[in-house]
Structure 1
Amino acid sequence: MTSLATTQRSLADHAVRHPLWPPLTAGCPVTSTDEVAYPLEVDYAYDRVPADLFSARDLTAPRGLERWAPLLPPLAAPGLGEGGTPLVRLSDGVYVKDESRNPTWSHKDRLNRVAVSAAVASGARGIVASSSGNHGASAAAYAARAGLPCVLFVSPYAPPAVASFLRAYGAAVLTVPLEAVRPLMRRTVTELGYQAVSSMTETAHTGHPFGPEGYKTIAYEIFAELGRMPAAVYLPTGYGELLFGVTKGFTELVKLGHAGSVPRMYACEPAAAGALAEAMRTGRHAAQVPVGPTDAYAIDCAVGSYRGVVALEASDGAALTVTDAQMAAARDELASQGLWFELSSAAGLAGLRAHGPADAEGPVVCVATSSGFKDIATASPDTAYGPMPGDWDTVLAAVEKAGGLPG
């Protein structure tokens, strides 16, 4: 199936449009101001979308992101089997969209399949990103798959398991001071001909205009599996790209006549940051906030994005903040039902448990974004198991501690 993408348009003013190529990775050059860098989104020829796109279920239908190719930018780079993740029903009826089942164990694979495809299609010589976690690992994997070199600017304090993961794909991993990251990214773009797949702007997060389009497929899959729209969706939120993409996917389902209304979207941020919550509280398009101590390193963002504001306004949603303790409780609840996620990934369920309604008029979905493999404590020395005595009393004590002895 062929992409129906037509143009890039400013989120600040939909009347401001730019050609589809090249991707404007530094934000809209017309509508951005000194105070806010405004992102762009991709528009489509919606009147040409195949009527059976959301109903084709036969065995010959494409799987993964290819299934939704008409409503994505051109998929010029090969994939890794991203998408098609399970929707798991918890014991109380809440659904969890388990994005840890993607190829590099996070939702970022959907974004990077699309963003790296844009780099290939526009003739970039490589890709560059700033990330110490899911995004960096995913970008490196998809660059390797596409045969493109990859430069990653990362924190020297990345979790041990993630630090190894980032290097596995042959990327150039650079641990420069934080204040040098964006200037060096910009030079990598202008002097080496690389394309940025993460944000290069200071006044607000812009990111790659094509990337969040990959997240729309989460909405498509939720709708297809439930057979209807959910009543509410709770998502971990940092810069708001995931929130925006999923909301746009539901909005397109309404636009195409498959549903009557968009579900209420809830952005769940760490209480130690909360840039989107601050923007919504003050009526700003993007806010900058100090970041306090938190182990939710994947979403502790000091700078917000207008994407999040757009998504919450479009869905009559809200920005919620959750503490590390609330996220830890949600992570433990998920683990008790066989689902292992990093702390940040449990923010959606934490938001539901802390702020959500007791009853909703329809299904409630929490998006969980990344495997517990990515957590700060994973693979650290204090989580290792040392030698133990090999006697029965020791075994019984361990079983009892785990709650496994018969009553």
Structure 2
Amino acid sequence: MTAPSLAVAQRSLGDPSISYPLVPPLTRGCPKTSTDALAYPLEVDYDYDRVPAGLFEQAPLPDIARWAPLLPPLHAPTLGEGGTPLLELDDGVYLKDESRNPTWSHKDRLNRVTVSAALAAGAPGVVVASSGNHGASAAAYAARAGLKAVVLASADSPPAVQSFVRAYGAKVLTVDADRRWPLLRDIVDELGYHPVSNQTVTHTGHPYGPEGYKTIAYELFAQLGRVPAAVFTPTGYGELLYGVWKGFTELRRTGATTDAPLMFACEPAAGAPTARALADGEPATIVDAGPSDAYAILCTVGGHRAVRAVRDSGGLALPVGDDTMRAAQRELAGQGIWQELSGAAGLAAYRALGRTFDGPVVCVGTSSGFKDLGVGTRPAEVLTAPTWRDAL
């Protein structure tokens, strides 16, 4: 039996004095502060005065329900998300390996929470616009909860990942990238499916989503025995970055610690909307994006969550190129860790920054290298007997 949720409301990130009832989730941003050009997300607020003593002293084991008092109500059954290992790469530098979640990515933490919201709403299913990790995770958690799933994939998404999504019984619709969000809205409005990805001009996504991600902060606190000095997070829309930051602010708010880390948004240099918004002093922005193989975090649309996490923590947005990410990916593989190119962005940015910190540094690795472009498409070379020594 898990402890009850202490969630009480949804609060606007556009104006924290504005709050709304906890349900229904406002999946199209804050109605009062958003405009046609900018959408402000919402976050979940809690009765922090009632947080049980010792909540953050628990060991980080699979199933994020161990943190239920500081999560929205969890109606969806678990697949064993969370409790991922923290691996030391060299002295004081760690990888939080989120590829060890049930569908091999950090998205499982988000989807345990958002599929729970779909069940609570009585929705017939969930719909998500995703070309990779999010779609696979949403499909798996929907199947586990007995719900249908529709995944809107872009035409250039990896075929292996689309097969992964279909394995869970999801309906995969492959459409041009610019059609995915309008089609998602149509499916929500006409069929009543619960949206677990973005619908707005700048990114808001699901207000409950980052709540699942903040359990990474709780686990890091338990695994390190302290708050890290810095966290480097692969960043697309910024839900993961903000969720981890919020988890650390809650540790501080509830008196578990007085410290908080610097948060670093690690984005493909081909897009990097968070870096642009911070440079321009904007709450969020939209950019043009060039080519990058780090497709999972290559975004033209930014969101206010990422900007808030970087600003409030005193961190930085760090654009990184594909070659730098590939070097980090090879470094991890040399230690027995296979990360997707996007998942290596945190370590890539840390190495490129070349800065020392007064305390442990954590790089979040978001997903398995199985999700990369081109995986499984190159045929193996058949080795003939006279040449095997030359191959070794």
What interval of TM-score do these two structures reach, taking the shorter chain for normalisation?
over 0.9
1:224-243 maps to which residues of 2 (within 5 A)?
224-243=222-241
- TM-superposed CA distance for 1:397, in Å, is 2.0
Deviations 1:194-232 (A, max 9, x none): 110000112x00100001100000000000010000000
- TM-superposed CA distance for 1:190, in Å, is 1.3
Cα pair distance change 1:333/1:67, threshold 3 Å: same
1:2-401 maps to which residues of 2 (within 5 A)?
2-57=4-59, 63-202=62-201, 204-357=202-355, 359-381=356-378, 384-391=379-386, 394-399=387-392
- Segments of 5+ residues of structure 1 without an aligned counterpart are 400-407
Cα pair distance change 1:62/1:353, threshold 3 Å: closer
Q: Distance between the aligned counterparts of 1:130 and 1:63, measured in 2?
A: 27
- Segments of 5+ residues of structure 2 without an aligned counterpart are none
- TM-superposed CA distance for 1:63, in Å, is 4.4
Q: Distance between the aligned counterparts of 2:196 and 2:92, measured in 1?
A: 37
Cα pair distance change 1:344/1:62, threshold 3 Å: closer
Q: Distance between the aligned counterparts of 2:385 and 2:164, measured in 1?
A: 34
When Rg is computed on C-alpha atoms for both structures, the one with the higher figure is: 1
TM-score, scaled relative to structure 2: 0.97
Q: Secondary structure at the match of 1:239?
A: coil
Q: Secondary structure at the match of 1:113?
A: helix
Q: Distance between the aligned counterparts of 1:12 and 1:79, measured in 2?
A: 32
Q: Distance between the aligned counterparts of 2:177 and 2:265, measured in 1?
A: 26
Q: Report the residue type matching 2:40 in the other structure.
A: Y
- TM-superposed CA distance for 1:179, in Å, is 3.1
Q: Report the residue type matching 1:288 in the other structure.
A: I
Q: Which residue number corresponds to residue 405 of structure 1?
A: none
Deviations 1:34-62 (A, max 9, x none): 221111000000000001101145xxx97
Deviations 1:279-302 (A, max 9, x none): 000000111111101100000100
Q: Which residue number corresponds to residue 403 of structure 1?
A: none
Deviations 1:236-262 (A, max 9, x none): 000000000000000100101111121
Q: Does structure 2 retain, via aligned residues, the 8 Å contact 1:8–1:20?
A: yes
- TM-superposed CA distance for 1:185, in Å, is 1.1
Q: Report the residue type matching 1:81 in the other structure.
A: G
Q: Report the residue type matching 1:390 in the other structure.
A: A
Q: Secondary structure at the match of 1:346?
A: helix
User: What is the percent sequence identity of the aligned residues?
Assistant: 62
Q: Distance between the aligned counterparts of 1:104 and 1:18, measured in 2?
A: 33
Deviations 1:332-367 (A, max 9, x none): 00000010011000000000000141x211000000
Q: Secondary structure at the match of 1:127?
A: strand
Q: 234-243 or 158-167: which moved more?
A: 158-167
Q: Distance between the aligned counterparts of 2:260 and 2:92, measured in 1?
A: 20
Q: Distance between the aligned counterparts of 1:104 and 1:258, measured in 2?
A: 31
Q: Distance between the aligned counterparts of 2:10 and 2:122, measured in 1?
A: 18
Q: Distance between the aligned counterparts of 1:171 and 1:20, measured in 2?
A: 28
Q: Distance between the aligned counterparts of 1:343 and 1:387, measured in 2?
A: 27
Q: Distance between the aligned counterparts of 1:249 and 1:147, measured in 2?
A: 30
Q: Does structure 2 retain, via aligned residues, the 8 Å contact 1:10–1:38?
A: yes
Q: Distance between the aligned counterparts of 1:86 and 1:301, measured in 2?
A: 28
Cα pair distance change 1:302/1:253, threshold 3 Å: same
How big is the alpha-carbon RMSD for the aligned residues of Structure 1 and Structure 2?
Answer: 1.2
Q: How many residues align?
A: 390
Q: Secondary structure at the match of 2:117?
A: helix
Q: Does structure 2 retain, via aligned residues, the 8 Å contact 1:129–1:197?
A: yes
Q: Distance between the aligned counterparts of 2:144 and 2:62, measured in 1?
A: 18
Q: Distance between the aligned counterparts of 1:106 and 1:332, measured in 2?
A: 19
Q: Does structure 2 retain, via aligned residues, the 8 Å contact 1:160–1:380?
A: no
- TM-superposed CA distance for 1:183, in Å, is 2.0
